[in-house]
Structure 1
Amino acid sequence: MNLSKVDLNLFIVFDAIYTEANLTRAGQIVGITQPAVSNALARLRETFNDPLFVRTAQGMVPTPMAQNIIGSVRNALQLLRVSVQESRIFNPAQANKTFRISMTDLTEAVVLPLLFQRLRRLAPQVQIESFLSKRRETTKELAAGRLDFAVDLPLNTDAQVRHVKLMDDRYVCAMRQGHPLGKEKISIEKYLSQSHVQISSRRSGLGYVDLALGKMGLQRKIALRSQHYLMASTVIESTDMLMTAPERFARRHGLHYADLPVEVPAVETHLYWHESTDQDPANRWMREQIIEICQQVSRNEAKTA
């Protein structure tokens, strides 16, 4: 007997017949017609190779086979009901769940400290796995459930991926305190005369600054290309190299910074999730925490600006 392909709805009908001992009343409970109940019973009889219920003057009487399996059937249906109910409710205080988030080291530094302050208070058993997913794979990872969220720049995403803007910032020219260019407005000539650190998760390709310079027929000298802002800041602090970075990062790490001599678009950070999890209580709760944290960061920065 192969139960792997049995329609679970048949067991709901089975339970109703066992309880009511009447096909018509069983159908009323389940919400189907009496012929549909008879059809379901016929399929169950074929599956188990047993009559399961025998019609008598007292109603549909279960056979020994039916009596043997009713306990397991009801336990399984109850487990299914509990699972469905739990999927509609998320209790952060009792939840033992891991959220997987793709984000850069720059976003980690802004979001994770404040997020874990909240988790310790509201959801002490919730865990976070943070790693950087390749941008071209973000949509696939979200759709497959291997990733719950991505925090990144605006992406060309599939229509099934939802997103909301978390924060925006502007790029500045960052340098060490006491840098020779720190006391003056940086001209394009002096900007190009210096060596630069470029931050990119890709092995090659141009950034916003390089694209803007390219339109002017200009090119800067890249001495170091790195994936990580936090590492690059330690290089900046001990050299005269320049780094184009978000103002928030330069300010948080005590770097001196000045306006760029070339116009580049503002940097936006968005939160991404798949539409299949849009109504999931756990996903929605975590989204709310991340959004509120970023709003808090923006408010605090506005007060100190």
Structure 2
Amino acid sequence: MIDLNLLKTFSAIYKTGSVRGASEIMHITSSAVSHALSKLRNEYNNPLFVREGRGLKPTTYAVELYKEISPHLTALEGTKKIFETFHPKTSDRTFFIAGDSDLDLWYFQKLLKISKHAAPNVNIVKFRSENREGNFNNALSMRKADVLISFVNPENRSFVVEQVAADKMVAIANKSHSRINGQLTLKAFLNEEHVGWSRPDIDRNTFEGLIQDKVPNVNVTYGSTAAMNLIFMVSESDWLSVIPEYLYDKTKKLDLVQRFDLPFNCDDLPLYLINHNATERDMGVQWLKGVIRESFS
């Protein structure tokens, strides 16, 4: 029978993508993690992880192994945490947050400052993944992440969802746009070419879904999955774009673009805080949700 601690180490490497990251979570040395990985490789007769850049990428076998053992490890850990009292001042727990990287600029630094003051030894780590809702939801289901922050409501009965924030959508244009300066009319908005914020995996809750009025489709010349990229593309062209106001506010001091209210009615962009039903009695996750709410206040 394989040692449970070896499987915990395997899970830590899988989640963090590195020996060093696993050692920090497990509170053991990197050499101890490497030794455990060597034992696991011998046990399963598979390399399990291969080096990719500065990190470790799981083999196909490791992915399947993780799928098999993760629910059982999670159940064991979850049962333990339910009966544990979480003390922020003394806890050294590591929490993982999944979510679109474009949202990090909105709250993440403030969250770290708040948590560091309240819980100096707690680590809050961003779960590494492509910006795809399927990956985020899977991370929550597989307990790779403790919470998910997203502008998409997953509408999954296994998840607890609450809206923690909303942001106004605004239009931006080059500071020296040849045809627009001072005000933006609906006619000008429709006549200009646009750079759009789009994610190929999302077909709802996009900017277009927030528009209240009947507005003709705009001419999207360029699409980007990274919202920050829109600001720089607009700053070097006569294209327009629509972004959440927090992105404009965070980059305003760079003086790259001019901001306009949209010339039509548009709902705010909602932001959701999501956790799995199974963590509702986890005092640590409930504390984390509390400091996340505070970071948006």
Whether TM-score is above 0.5 comes out as yes
| 2:99 partner amino acid | M
Contact map agreement 2:195 2:222 (CA 8 A) in 1: yes
Q: How far does the alpha carbon of each residue in 1:150-184 deviate from its partner, in whole angstroms, 9 at most, with x for none? A: 11124142222112211112211112333345534
Q: How does 1:190-229 map to 2 (within 5 A)?
A: 190-202=188-200, 207-209=206-208, 215-216=214-215, 218-229=216-227
Aligned length in residues: 215
* TM-score normalised by length of structure 1: 0.61
CA pair 177-130 structure 1, distance change in 2 beyond 3 A = farther
Q: Which residue of 1 aligns with 2:291?
A: 289
| 1:116 partner amino acid | L
Q: Which residue of 1 aligns with 2:185?
A: 187
Q: How does 1:113-152 map to 2 (within 5 A)?
A: 113-121=109-117, 122-131=119-128, 134-152=132-150
* TM-score normalised by length of structure 2: 0.62
Contact map agreement 1:182 1:256 (CA 8 A) in 2: no
| 2:198 partner amino acid | S
Task: State the Cα RMSD in Å.
Answer: 3.2
Structure 1: gaps (5+ residues): 3-79, 296-305
CA pair 247-127 structure 1, distance change in 2 beyond 3 A = closer
Cα distance in 2 between the residues matched to 1:279 and 1:226:
39
Deviation at 1:291, TM superposition (A): 0.4
Deviation at 1:147, TM superposition (A): 2.0
Cα distance in 1 between the residues matched to 2:202 and 2:284:
37
CA pair 224-142 structure 1, distance change in 2 beyond 3 A = same
| 1:259 partner amino acid | D
Structure 2: gaps (5+ residues): 2-75
2:85 counterpart of 1:89? yes
Q: How does 1:1-305 map to 2 (within 5 A)?
A: 84=80, 87-121=83-117, 122-131=119-128, 134-180=132-178, 182-202=180-200, 207-209=206-208, 215-216=214-215, 218-254=216-252, 255-295=257-297
SS of 1:90's equivalent in the other structure is coil
CA pair 287-212 structure 1, distance change in 2 beyond 3 A = closer
| 2:248 partner amino acid | A
| 1:110 partner amino acid | W
Contact map agreement 2:199 2:225 (CA 8 A) in 1: yes
SS of 2:296's equivalent in the other structure is helix
- Which structure is larger by alpha-carbon Rg, 1 or 2? 1
Cα distance in 2 between the residues matched to 1:283 and 1:264:
34
| 2:208 partner amino acid | V
